[in-house]
Structure 1
Amino acid sequence: MRTPALLDMVSATQLAHALTAHVARDLGVRSISVKGPVLAEQKLRSPRTSTDADVLVDPDRVEELVEALKRRGWEERFVADVPRILDNHARTLSHSDWPCDIDVHHGFLGFLAPEREVFEALWERRRTMLIAGRPVTCADPVANTAMLALHCLRELHVPRNRAELEELAVAWSGERGDLDVEDLLGLAARTGSVETLSPFLSRIGVDSTLSPFDRAGFAAWTLHTASVEAGRAAAWLAAIADARWRERPRLLAKAILPPAIEYRLEHPEIGPSRLDFTRAVLQRGVNGIRALPLASVQIAQARRLQITASSQRRTDSEPAEAAPRRYGNRTTPSSTSAKGEDRMPKSVAIIGTRGYPSYYGGFETAVRRLAPYLAERGWDVTVYGRDGSTKDDDAGIDRRVTTRVTRGVESKSLSTLTYGLTACVDAVRRKPDVALVMNVANGFWLPLLRGRGIPTAVNVDGIEWDRAKWGRLAKNVFKSGAKATALFGDELIYDAVEIARRWKQDFKRDGTFIPYGGDDPGVLPPVEGFPHRGYILVVARFVPENTIVEFLNAAETLGDRWPVVIVGSSGYGGELDEHARRLASDKENVSWLGHVSDDRKLFSLWQHAGAYFHGHSVGGTNPALVQAMSCGAPTVARDTVYNREVLEDTAVFAQPDADSIIQAITELMEDSARQEQLSAEAYERGRSRYSWEVVCAGYEAVLDAQIAKRKERGR
């Protein structure tokens, strides 16, 4: 008896494409081979080995093709009946003699138009090429661009997907007659993928008006892409929240303890014993619990998009005179409905930061992203700030955001309190629909807002009374402000799970977990004079709890071997600024840049650092750390519960003393493979868990909820 020849993966996937095309042709079923060797042939990505053959099939005839392949020995993989954020778009078949799978698609994720319309649009662009010596129908380069981009964007936390998206963008940067921007936009409009493709369109310099074909579908897409890590937890959470009360116990039980037969079929890697199954389910539970906080934020974002969808459908059904008015690329609601009822935009006052746009710290970074986000969605946004603290000539300023400057005492101990008071007094006079208040020191003034009927959401920041930079009086003020916040704040926002635990323990208050976000800057050139992976970086405000003293002492030694770049200052002058100045003067290898407000320069410093030291010890999720992760900085962090919550195992941890810092940084600087590993892992975690889209949507959901509660109380 002859032993069948074993197929290598490259040959197998090519033959699988050819086989599927042959079977489909015999049946008279229209099919299009997607991704795979076609992309390399069309020079949209480099050749690589795939583990499956993807084919998009006439949606009405998928069953025929699947059954025909089954008759040839292929078997359909089991798919568990569990909640999913994105519907199954393909049926996967495997064969005992083949190392690859065949994915028979009836749709392609990211195209929000009906599957039939999408298939017809792609079928019109069909071409024929030889794969394994057989004619195979495939799509043209423009259609394959859309599909590859959507495939990468769906799971952008995967390093390979990021690399392929960059490679695709490079292909579009050249002069190719078969790649036309207007053609791509036309296909995107027809297939309902303008908004899902928008990150890629932005990368190739295309500014497109964003108008989701299907807002509910885009809600699911956003929910999935925001964090694949929390995707399954978010799906279960959404299903349980949407179910009737009597159905929730059953769903909850299935989420906690899945049926053994189904779970084993879905996860054949689980060992045969009962203990193996128990361990797998326990690990599943641990992963689910870890993902729940982020999943909750994602659900809030999806709810917002779904509410927007309902509002859009109502607007579409109104008479023409009540239709939205378009200004540039933004649609603004008409101020009056067909019945003459006022439809004023919601208004929010943001209190407790240095203003907009400001580059001072974490609160200011959040406001730079949140204020334009809310304005784009029709909110009337007012940001209170301080004179001289903003960049009014900032190229990225959003003129729809109103800024108001009130008076205060400019000193380390009194500025937050005094500016917060005058801002609250001004807000009381103007009476916005809701106030977003930053910092518990402003908790003393919350009764003013409550007395005026203005609901509040308060970002409590960190545990300020634990910080070494404050004296006893200041610590008591912050602790008292926290008590006032717990008493008078309508909703509390925590940027870290550990912060939420402390507030629950100390003040018996629950709230909403919303972390900070980070921007993916793409690939940036190194800052002149600082070569890739050739220098040590620290970015921090000069305060004791940021381990600046210990790092500057360590830099005395580290600067003998490598360049050390110091970004930051105290903002008020003092001993730490003088130490940094003296160090930079005495050591040629040490550069003190002070405060860097140029994001592109700062992001490049993070991206190309050989070791980034993060010494923050209190304060929850630190915005600088999240941004460093999104830039792929190989990180040495002070070992704290907050830093471990954010980084998990994507960094090296050190104790707060010079010797420990020197040892950790030296080991990392001497290990280039470890540098690149930590860079990739930090980037993946940063993009999958800390997305500005999710963060801003979480804030909007909280603000909307407070307005709704106020209206409910007024009935």
Structure 2
Amino acid sequence: MTHASRRTQLEIPEGVLLGHALVAGLAAGLGIRAFFIKGPVSVLQGLREAKVSADVDVVVDPVRLEDLMQGLHERGWRERPVDPDSRTFPKHSVTVHHPEWPCCIDVHFRFPGMERPDCFESLWANTETLELAGQQLTVPSRELGVLFLALHALRSPALPACRHELDYLADLTRREILAEELLEVARATNSLAAVRPFLEVLLPSSITVVWPEPSPEWRNRVAAQDPGSARLLAILQAPWSEKPRLLWGALFPTREVFLSGNIYADMSLFGQLRQHCARWWRFVRALPRIARSLRKLSASGD
């Protein structure tokens, strides 16, 4: 690569900002309702401390998902390989990449923790606009933005970064007295069960809430924090007729499994063998933690 070409190469922060503008312009041109979550919009709203985002996260009207994807394909964006096992990893977004861009775009057609399948209208009713990269972008209201970030952090609550984010969001919610508004949005999206660990302690004692039980998908997401644990959970919970197929997929994953983590992974025979060995070593090392997680999950389901 020449010195001149290095100067013209997009850096990640530039790519993310321009990616927001690209998707916003494309959606507006096609008449598609879409709004942006997490990332720089959350920083601008004051919902998250300043940090560099590595991708663009957009929520799109599910009925127009294919139209937006077609528009991105026409502009050179291609879907990243994904694990074909949708039972173990229920899909909630489509990730696309471009060889000339340093970031990906995650197009969400639903969001983990929001269990109501047709909640886009409720989400859209809780949006506002702000300017980013010279574009007027549609973004979540403050309470909906807090809900998105809290649900994302609650998927891995043991991680220090996620605990810090939840503490930051809790302080903001108390300062701005957002808890009751957050409760209403959580009800509208059927995310009360998932957000309960965050929201319950923030609500006034005068408010009584009937907290539903979390769905199996959400419980599995939270429990599956270690390598291989999600596949093991899926095998244990699957009907006997499906167990052989899932077990085979766990032992001998397809190429897409490796490429989903790294689109530039070495797919030669030696490269795949090396990745298989590394994969099994991570699983063996994580077995004690997986066993503890499974015991906790079993106890919570009793």
Residues of 2 paired with 1:201 and 1:14: CA distance? 31
The residue aligned with 1:697 is 300
Matched letter for residue 173 of structure 1 = R
Per the TM alignment, residue 695 of structure 1 is displaced from its structure 2 partner at its CA by 7.1
Residues of 1 paired with 2:106 and 2:67: CA distance? 14
Unaligned runs of 5+ in 2: none
Matched letter for residue 194 of structure 1 = L
The 3 A distance-change label for structure 1 pair 78 and 113 is same
Residues of 2 paired with 1:24 and 1:60: CA distance? 13
Secondary structure (helix, strand or coil) at the match of 2:192 reads coil
Residues of 1 paired with 2:65 and 2:277: CA distance? 37
The residue aligned with 2:184 is 186
Residues of 2 paired with 1:184 and 1:251: CA distance? 38
The residue aligned with 1:128 is 129
Q: Which has the higher contact order (CA 8 A, sep 6+)?
A: 2
The 3 A distance-change label for structure 1 pair 269 and 233 is farther
Matched letter for residue 92 of structure 2 = H
The residue aligned with 2:235 is 239
Match of 1:256 among 251, 260, 265: 251
The residue aligned with 1:211 is 211
- Contact kept in structure 2, 1:85 and 1:224, CA below 8 Å: no
* Matching of residue 280 in structure 1 with residue 278 in structure 2: no
The residue aligned with 1:668 is none
Q: How does 1:229-628 map to 2 (within 5 A)?
A: 229=226, 232-239=228-235, 241-245=237-241, 247-259=242-254, 261-266=255-260, 267-268=262-263, 270-291=265-286, 295=290, 514=295
* Matching of residue 171 in structure 1 with residue 198 in structure 2: no
Per the TM alignment, residue 127 of structure 1 is displaced from its structure 2 partner at its CA by 0.9
The residue aligned with 2:194 is 196
What do residues 505-554 of structure 1 show as CA deviations (whole Å, max 9, x unaligned)?
xxxxxxxxx4xxxxxxxxxxxxxxxxxxxxxxxxxxxxxxxxxxxxxxxx
Residues of 2 paired with 1:234 and 1:34: CA distance? 26
The residue aligned with 1:417 is none
The residue aligned with 1:45 is 48
Per the TM alignment, residue 253 of structure 1 is displaced from its structure 2 partner at its CA by 2.4
- Contact kept in structure 2, 1:195 and 1:210, CA below 8 Å: no
Q: TM-score with structure 1 length normalisation?
A: 0.39
The 3 A distance-change label for structure 1 pair 135 and 241 is closer
Per the TM alignment, residue 268 of structure 1 is displaced from its structure 2 partner at its CA by 3.6
The residue aligned with 2:219 is 222
The residue aligned with 2:37 is 34
- Contact kept in structure 1, 2:226 and 2:290, CA below 8 Å: no
Per the TM alignment, residue 161 of structure 1 is displaced from its structure 2 partner at its CA by 2.0
Matched letter for residue 265 of structure 1 = L
Per the TM alignment, residue 280 of structure 1 is displaced from its structure 2 partner at its CA by 1.4
* Matching of residue 71 in structure 1 with residue 71 in structure 2: no
What do residues 116-175 of structure 1 show as CA deviations (whole Å, max 9, x unaligned)?
22x11111122111110111111110100100100111122332222121111111222x
Identify the structure with the greater helix proportion. Answer: 2
Residues of 1 paired with 2:283 and 2:86: CA distance? 14
Secondary structure (helix, strand or coil) at the match of 2:194 reads coil
* Matching of residue 92 in structure 1 with residue 86 in structure 2: no
Residues of 2 paired with 1:84 and 1:190: CA distance? 26
The 3 A distance-change label for structure 1 pair 199 and 70 is same
Matched letter for residue 77 of structure 2 = W
Per the TM alignment, residue 104 of structure 1 is displaced from its structure 2 partner at its CA by 0.6
- Contact kept in structure 2, 1:85 and 1:223, CA below 8 Å: no
Matched letter for residue 233 of structure 1 = S
Residues of 2 paired with 1:86 and 1:129: CA distance? 33
Per the TM alignment, residue 227 of structure 1 is displaced from its structure 2 partner at its CA by 4.0
The 3 A distance-change label for structure 1 pair 188 and 19 is same
The 3 A distance-change label for structure 1 pair 272 and 190 is closer
Residues of 2 paired with 1:293 and 1:238: CA distance? 18
Matched letter for residue 222 of structure 1 = R
The 3 A distance-change label for structure 1 pair 210 and 696 is farther
Per the TM alignment, residue 211 of structure 1 is displaced from its structure 2 partner at its CA by 3.0
Secondary structure (helix, strand or coil) at the match of 1:288 reads helix
- Contact kept in structure 1, 2:34 and 2:58, CA below 8 Å: yes
Residues of 2 paired with 1:134 and 1:74: CA distance? 21
The 3 A distance-change label for structure 1 pair 210 and 86 is farther
Residues of 2 paired with 1:243 and 1:202: CA distance? 35
Per the TM alignment, residue 85 of structure 1 is displaced from its structure 2 partner at its CA by 4.3
Per the TM alignment, residue 21 of structure 1 is displaced from its structure 2 partner at its CA by 0.9
What do residues 397-416 of structure 1 show as CA deviations (whole Å, max 9, x unaligned)?
xxxxxxxxxxxxxxxxxxxx
Matched letter for residue 253 of structure 1 = W
The residue aligned with 1:140 is 141
Residues of 2 paired with 1:251 and 1:695: CA distance? 21
What do residues 174-216 of structure 1 show as CA deviations (whole Å, max 9, x unaligned)?
2x3xx5322111111111111211111135355653432xx5x
The 3 A distance-change label for structure 1 pair 106 and 270 is same
The 3 A distance-change label for structure 1 pair 71 and 283 is same
- Contact kept in structure 1, 2:220 and 2:233, CA below 8 Å: no
Q: Percent identity over the alignment?
A: 34
Residues of 2 paired with 1:129 and 1:83: CA distance? 35
- Contact kept in structure 1, 2:226 and 2:289, CA below 8 Å: no
Per the TM alignment, residue 249 of structure 1 is displaced from its structure 2 partner at its CA by 3.3
The 3 A distance-change label for structure 1 pair 264 and 218 is closer
The 3 A distance-change label for structure 1 pair 19 and 159 is same
The residue aligned with 1:60 is 63
What do residues 441-476 of structure 1 show as CA deviations (whole Å, max 9, x unaligned)?
xxxxxxxxxxxxxxxxxxxxxxxxxxxxxxxxxxxx
The 3 A distance-change label for structure 1 pair 237 and 139 is closer
What do residues 668-709 of structure 1 show as CA deviations (whole Å, max 9, x unaligned)?
xxxxxxxxxxxxxxxxxxxxxxxxx537437x4xxxxxxxxx
Residues of 2 paired with 1:269 and 1:97: CA distance? 15
Match of 1:104 among 102, 107, 112: 107
Per the TM alignment, residue 262 of structure 1 is displaced from its structure 2 partner at its CA by 2.8
Residues of 1 paired with 2:103 and 2:277: CA distance? 31
Per the TM alignment, residue 272 of structure 1 is displaced from its structure 2 partner at its CA by 4.7
Per the TM alignment, residue 264 of structure 1 is displaced from its structure 2 partner at its CA by 4.1
The 3 A distance-change label for structure 1 pair 86 and 197 is farther
Residues of 2 paired with 1:126 and 1:263: CA distance? 35
Matched letter for residue 230 of structure 2 = A
Residues of 1 paired with 2:63 and 2:249: CA distance? 33
